[in-house]
Structure 1
């Protein structure tokens, strides 16, 4: 199937599909005229990539996890698991930072609210 067909079947933009190829996450074959073609298996691959991206993984993290999918084995599974745990820890840290920032903003809003009420009253 051609790239536009894959995009329609997966709900992923053509631009994203090209990006996945640039990152080595997806491969295609080329016709004599240079057009990309994909297999039916690539539909599942793209859907998996979307799930991994939606889980917050970066393309480099996904590239580290994919060997577990492509050639399952104990070593690949352990590496994938370790990478996902590390990504989750980074996410937890980022969430903590965001919560701290939100709390600081809430304090500023409260101070501003009291100041505005004092001016109005």
Structure 2
């Protein structure tokens, strides 16, 4: 059989869920919110192709980067008018989170080497939280 005659590989919902370590209900939910639209076979069963496989990988990577499903829907919609706004907001959020991680790492590194038994009493450690103490930085968890 020539490769041009070959059928594309199709996977069931169970196979796709196992491949990514997901529960099948997650894929059904992603379909409900518009992230996936798998083909259906004659019996109405979902059949996922390579494009679906890539979309699921994009959704997982985007979720790992902190995007909400609503934002991912916009990201994957080529015609979405506010796509760039969502992406710019996400980049700003990533920058904020990366700065918070940098600070946290520096503070943890200092705490590891600090001789103070209670690091909150260490003047250098206190410098790392001075902005929060002074109310100059909104808390990232708020």
Structure 1 regions of 5+ residues with no counterpart? 101-121
Mark the CA change 1:24 to 1:90 in structure 2 (over 3 Å): closer, same or farther: farther
Q: Larger RCO: Structure 1 or Structure 2 (Cα < 8 Å, ≥ 6 residues apart)?
A: 1
Matched ranges for 1:85-96 at <5 A:
85=91, 88=94, 96=139
Q: TM-score, normalised by structure 1?
A: 0.60
The structure richer in helix per residue is 1
Cα contact 1:65–1:79 (8 A) shared by 2: no
Aligned CA-pair RMSD: 3.1
C-alpha displacement at 1:21, in angstroms? 0.3
The count of aligned residue pairs is 92
Structure 1 segments (4+ residues) deviating >6 Å: 89-92
Q: TM-score, normalised by structure 2?
A: 0.52
C-alpha displacement at 1:14, in angstroms? 0.6
C-alpha displacement at 1:43, in angstroms? 1.5
Structure 2 regions of 5+ residues with no counterpart? 1-10, 101-137
Cα contact 1:57–1:87 (8 A) shared by 2: no
C-alpha displacement at 1:81, in angstroms? 2.4
> Partner residue of 1:31?
41
